[in-house]
Copies of this chain bind each other. A is one copy, B any other.
Amino acid sequence: MDQKHTIAVVDDHLLFAKSLTSLIESFKGYQVSFHATNGQHFIECMQKYGAPDIVLLDINMPIMSGIETMEWLNDNAPEQKAIALSMDDSEETIIKMLRLGAKGYLLKDIHPKIFEGALNDVIYNGFYYSDKITNKLLDTIDRKEQNETGSGIKLKDREIEFLKLACTEMTYKEIATQMFLSPKTVDGYRESLFDKLEVKSRIGLVLYGIKHKYIEV
């Protein structure tokens, strides 16, 4: 085993990517074979330089995101080992990446020693799951099993439609017109959402809507 393990870094943040490269090359047994700034670029590079042993995938990238890249790998190179590397610790993203076959999910604030350990784990064990991520997933499962609380509330189409309009400066009367409903029906949606989302005012609806990405700001 004389050959060094090869790593590809896929991240649009150049400074981070290059810094990470320096770090990785300071680990013995590893070398960075190339760096790409988004998924599409990565695919091109892979065709040019060959597949690396591990690809470190950022999630948020322009043109082709980490998730899209993971989907592509799933279809075209299912054997490729990939580790997601992101600031984003939302359950949904983590779950999505792991389901798509990522061998690990690292937050960008981890300790370099742990990072090195994770690389080794992926090479020799095939995967690495950190405490933090595991706990996050367990939390999510707990909440789902209990009471559907947290972010496990499912809104119906019409409710979402109403929620979006509630996050504007329209009055309920205007919302009713917009939705082709009686103001009284809209009042019903309001009350049932107050109940379901555990809020006490329209402000609460707006905050919920933003937090859960029903609307963008």
A residues lining the B interface (CB < 8 Å) = 12-16, 18-23, 25-26, 87, 106, 108-112, 115, 166-169, 199-204, 206-207, 210-211, 217
Contacts and interface: CB of A to CB of B under 8 A. Distances in A.
Copies in the complex: 2
Contacts of A26: 22
A48 to B, nearest CB: 21
19 contacts: A12-B109, A13-B108, A13-B109, A15-B111, A15-B112, A15-B115, A16-B19, A18-B111, A22-B25, A22-B26, A169-B199, A169-B200, A169-B203, A202-B202, A202-B203, A203-B203, A203-B206, A206-B206, A206-B207
A169 B199 CA distance: 8
A207 B15 contact: no
Contact of A23 (B19, B112, B204): B19
Nearest to A200: B169
A9 to B, nearest CB: 10
Residue among A109, A110, A111 with the highest chain B CB neighbour number at 10 A: A109
Contacts of A110: 14-15
A207 B26 CA distance: 46
Contacts of A207: 167, 206, 217
Nearest to A109: B13
Residue among A22, A168, A201, A202 with the highest chain B CB neighbour number at 10 A: A22
Contacts of A19: 16, 19-23, 112
B13 A23 contact: no
Nearest to A20: B19
A199 B26 CA distance: 54
Residue among A26, A167, A203 with the highest chain B CB neighbour number at 10 A: A203
A73 to B, nearest CB: 23
Contacts of A16: 16, 19-20, 108-109
A169 B169 CA distance: 16
A217 B12 CA distance: 25
